Structure 1
């Protein structure tokens, strides 16, 4: 599939708005920001996600206890392919997620998962959001341990980013 340059130019604003929607989702799950996640989904969406199927509110109720039990998470999105059809679009976006897990014995473990978000998005009132999502996991790796943060990175003491609303990005960005 190739898209002529002239068509990409015509669709540029919609393509960027779709990418921003995907990025809002990733930020929302990493910061545990329910409103940010809601801004990425239409209320009537259906998300099929690692054994879960439901709407945005059900996804938040299912995922927040899981994600909140982790010290840190980071979801990155790349390789975004978009096929626009008027006010609907199909999109495949690769994800790479890093998770620092708290184990029952008090130790830490890192889990990395990678795959693709297969989305159908809808544009309503000049706004793009996810209408249907199917998450395909293509790869994962669980490490038996995690980095020792007590000594810092390369001996430099650092504080990890926070969650909603304490992360400093909330004083920088005014995203709604």
Structure 2
């Protein structure tokens, strides 16, 4: 069984703010609000996207800066709908530097309609994050989006 340490009210508030940041990312993705989603990032933050291809350890895509994030997030428009379910998160907060790291699991459902019919693409994603507190607000400084596996199946309307 794990042991829990006592945390200060400030640390509890920071952990809650980081969890709200993680959830806001999924919310804005599902609502197709790329500008709001990109605003969750520090101005020069980056996202590295890793596919489920075990033959490479290099990111398939790298986004740097908010404008690049807006453009990257617009790729979700290829889907009729998406639903991101965030699961467990582990957050390690380092208050002296106003930085934190964490890992969050997510099941992302992507519904696509095309010439080959309606498909549901399910992605198991892990986000490895570095957070920065700037002007009292927690933001993403770096986000590694790691696709562990995908499953594509027909979907009935």
Question: Scaled by the length of structure 1, what TM-score is found?
Answer: 0.76
Task: Give the distance between the partners of 1:44 and 1:88, measured in 2 at CA.
Answer: 15
Structure 2 unaligned spans of 5+: 51-59
Q: Give the aligned partner of residue 30 of structure 2.
A: 30
- What stretches of structure 1 of length at least 5 have no aligned partner? 149-176
If asked which structure has higher relative contact order (CA below 8 Å, sep 6+), I would say 2
Q: Match of 2:106?
A: 95
Counterparts in 2 of 1:95 and 1:8: CA distance versus 1, 3 Å: farther
Question: Is residue 78 from structure 1 mapped to residue 111 from structure 2 by the alignment?
Answer: no
Root-mean-square deviation (CA), in Å?
Answer: 1.7
Matched ranges for 1:20-169 at <5 A: 20-50=20-50, 51-55=60-64, 56-64=66-74, 66-86=75-95, 87-105=98-116, 107-143=117-153, 145-148=154-157
Aligned partner of 2:16 in structure 1 is: 16
Q: Residue 165 of structure 1 corresponds to which residue in structure 2?
A: none
1:164-175 superposed matches below 5 A: none
Give 1 or 2: higher strand fraction: 2
Following TM superposition, by how much is the alpha carbon of 1:119 offset from its aligned partner in structure 2, in angstroms? 0.3
Q: Summarize deviations over 1:77-121 as a string: whole Å, max 9, x none.
A: 11100001110000100011001012234x210000012100000
- The 1:59/1:39 distance shift into structure 2, 3 A limit, reads closer
TM normalised by structure 2 equals: 0.84
- Alpha-carbon offset, residue 62 of structure 1: 2.4
Distance 2:144 2:15 in 1: 20
Once the 2 structures are TM-superposed, how far is the Cα of residue 10 of structure 1 from its aligned partner? 4.7
Q: Which has the larger radius of gyration?
A: 1
